């Protein structure tokens, strides 16, 4: 089977769809991998490192797409990339269709693309195995980002996260006890910050309590509790999202108004719409803005800041699915792997993911629903 790895086009997106190690595994399994020239440069992988393991370097994005049956990307495709889509192709990428521009779904339908979203591949237990390592990276970046935002030179409150003897540490509030939230809590904890983490799931909070031996405060994420702790936060981390859906808005503008001037909000849920009402997407060129006197950081692709680590993490998670597709074909892989079936957003151009369809207000037509029942089984 032929796999294509185009160069990412979004500003400051340093990750690459496949590392040389992943290409090596696919080539050894009997497949061809076409890598666009300089696709891995941002992550520190030169063209020669791909050629040494049997990857074939192509010189344009058009050729990478044209030769590929399976296109392996990182970020959601841009308008410029739409022109390269080939009818009947399969695309794997972070898609977040629920909050994407409508023209992406339109071109997927027009070109009859089977689009598999990394953000919707889900196990029977509800885990998101491809999103998980990316969430780990993002969460562990949180103190680095927050530390810069709090510096006086950047307009912050001039607070050291850890404090020092005789001076209190920063107060950090984390909304969401999932993978991003727990990794952020762990990283802040290592610096000595004062941490409170909120979630609607009591079991998730019990796991946090056990992991940190009671040294991190936990609260149920009710509006009352959120309003209470947000007002005292030096750093507010939004880490609450739902697979395939728009993130719920848990922190209202009125809550943000109660925060002290020059405090910091990091909304990691911005890639699915954001969980803070005042959030709006930014990028690595201009990552922050001030709203209600509070500094907001709302970059959707935070892991791109550490492109090499993030590329390894993503490729490690994606590779087993690619090998399965290569061995069994797409139909066989989807039939035999429920979690991969759950990741299918469009199948030959037809929107088949119920949660995304519900968010977009689009009905799955009767014929598609029948086919979905047959192909997707009880995956949803």
Look at residue 192 in the predicted model and tell me its pLDDT. Answer: 95
The range of the structural domain enclosing residue 171 comes to 132-300
Residues 106 and 154 in one domain: no
* Distance, CA of 94 to CA of 298 (rounded, Å): 17
Look at residue 376 in the predicted model and tell me its pLDDT. Answer: 42
DSSP code per residue over 282-313: --SSS-EEEETTEEEE--TTGGGGGHHHHHHH
Q: Does the residue 123 lie in any domain?
A: no
Residues 372 and 250 in one domain: no
* Distance, CA of 231 to CA of 19 (rounded, Å): 43
Residues 230 and 89 in one domain: no
DSSP code per residue over 91-106: EEE---TTTS-HHHHH
- Tens-place pLDDT, residues 304-326: 999 999 999 999 999 999 999 99
pLDDT at 378 over 60: no
Least Cα distance to 110 among 88, 79, 80 occurs for 88
Residues 238 and 110 in one domain: no
Place of tokens 């521009």: 101
pLDDT at 369 over 70: no
Q: Does the residue 122 lie in any domain?
A: no
Q: Quote the pTM value.
A: 0.88
Segment 132-159 mean pLDDT: 95
Q: Does the residue 179 lie in any domain?
A: yes
* pLDDT band, residue 213 (cuts 50/70/90): very high
- DSSP lists the bridge partners of residue 344 as 116
Segment 109-118 mean pLDDT: 96
Of residues 362 and 250, more confidence is placed in 250
Least Cα distance to 235 among 279, 265, 262 occurs for 265
Question: Domain ends where: 263, 281, 300?
Answer: 300
* Distance, CA of 173 to CA of 159 (rounded, Å): 15
pLDDT at 342 over 90: yes
Question: Domain ends where: 253, 284, 300?
Answer: 300
* Distance, CA of 187 to CA of 105 (rounded, Å): 37
Cβ–Cβ < 8 Å for 372, 345: no
CB atoms under 10 Å from CB of 331, counted, come to: 11
Question: Domain ends where: 300, 331, 362?
Answer: 300
Look at residue 375 in the predicted model and tell me its pLDDT. Answer: 44
Cβ–Cβ < 8 Å for 16, 45: yes
Q: Which two tokens stand for residue 284?
A: 């690595």
Residues 293 and 338 in one domain: no
Least Cα distance to 355 among 367, 370, 372 occurs for 372
Residues 142 and 286 in one domain: yes
**Comparing 193-202, 238-247, 349-358, which segment has the lowest mean pLDDT?**
238-247
* pLDDT band, residue 23 (cuts 50/70/90): very high
- DSSP lists the bridge partners of residue 71 as 4, 91
Least Cα distance to 187 among 161, 163, 213, 148 occurs for 161
Q: Which two tokens stand for residue 132?
A: 């998980």
Look at residue 367 in the predicted model and tell me its pLDDT. Answer: 43
State whether the Cα torsion 365-90-126-281 is positive or negative: negative
Q: Which two tokens stand for residue 85?
A: 């889509």
Look at residue 247 in the predicted model and tell me its pLDDT. Answer: 87
Look at residue 15 in the predicted model and tell me its pLDDT. Answer: 97
* Distance, CA of 216 to CA of 220 (rounded, Å): 13
Q: How many domains, the chain?
A: 2
- Tens-place pLDDT, residues 236-272: 999 998 777 888 999 999 999 999 999 999 999 998 8
* Distance, CA of 70 to CA of 63 (rounded, Å): 13
Tell me what the pLDDT averaged over the chain comes to: 93
Segment 33-49 mean pLDDT: 97
Helix boundaries (H) for the chain: 20-28, 47-51, 61-66, 79-82, 102-110, 131-150, 179-191, 202-211, 223-230, 253-257, 307-336, 338-342, 354-360, 366-376
Q: Does the residue 127 lie in any domain?
A: no
Residues 80 and 144 in one domain: no
**Domain CATH for 162:** 3.40.50.720
Segment 41-53 mean pLDDT: 97
Residues 36 and 150 in one domain: no
């Amino acid at each position: 089977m032929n796999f294509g790895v185009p160069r990412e086009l979004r500003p400051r997106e340093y990750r690459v769809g496949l590392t040389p190690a992943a290409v090596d595994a696919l080539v050894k399994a009997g497949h061809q991998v076409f890598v666009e020239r300089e696709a891995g440069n941002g992550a520190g992988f030169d063209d020669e490192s791909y050629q040494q393991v049997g990857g074939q370097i192509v010189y344009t994005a058009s050729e990478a797409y044209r030769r590929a049956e399976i296109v392996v990307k990182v970020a959601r495709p841009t308008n410029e990339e739409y022109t390269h889509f080939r009818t009947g192709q399969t695309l794997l990428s972070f898609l977040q269709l629920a909050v994407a521009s409508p023209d992406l779904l339109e071109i997927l339908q027009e070109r009859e693309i089977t689009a598999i979203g990394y953000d919707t591949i889900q196990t029977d237990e509800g885990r998101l195995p491809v999103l998980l390592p990316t969430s780990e990276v993002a969460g562990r970046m949180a103190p680095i980002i927050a530390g810069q935002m709090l510096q006086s030179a950047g307009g912050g409150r001039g607070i050291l996260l850890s404090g020092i003897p005789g001076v209190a540490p920063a107060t950090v509030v984390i909304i969401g006890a999932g993978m991003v939230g727990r990794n952020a809590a762990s990283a802040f904890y290592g610096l000595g910050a004062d941490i409170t983490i909120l979630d609607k799931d009591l079991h998730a909070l019990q796991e946090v309590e056990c992991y940190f031996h009671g040294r991190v405060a936990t609260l149920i994420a009710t509006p009352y509790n959120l309003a209470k702790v947000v007002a005292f936060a030096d750093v507010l981390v939004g880490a609450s999202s739902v697979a395939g859906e728009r993130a719920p808005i848990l922190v209202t503008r009125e809550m943000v108004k109660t925060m002290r001037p020059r405090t910091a909000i990091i909304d990691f849920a911005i890639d699915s719409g954001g969980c803070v009402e005042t959030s709006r997407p930014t990028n690595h060129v201009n990552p922050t803005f001030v709203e209600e006197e509070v500094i907001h950081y709302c970059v959707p692709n935070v892991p791109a800041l550490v492109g090499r680590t993030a590329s390894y993490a993503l490729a490690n998670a994606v590779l087993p699915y690619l090998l399965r597709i290569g061995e069994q074909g797409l139909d066989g892989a989807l039939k035999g792997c429920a979690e991969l079936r759950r990741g299918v957003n469009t199948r030959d151009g037809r929107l088949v993911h119920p949660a995304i369809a519900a968010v977009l207000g689009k009905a799955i037509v009767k014929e598609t629903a029948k086919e979905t029942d047959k192909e997707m089984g009880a995956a949803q």
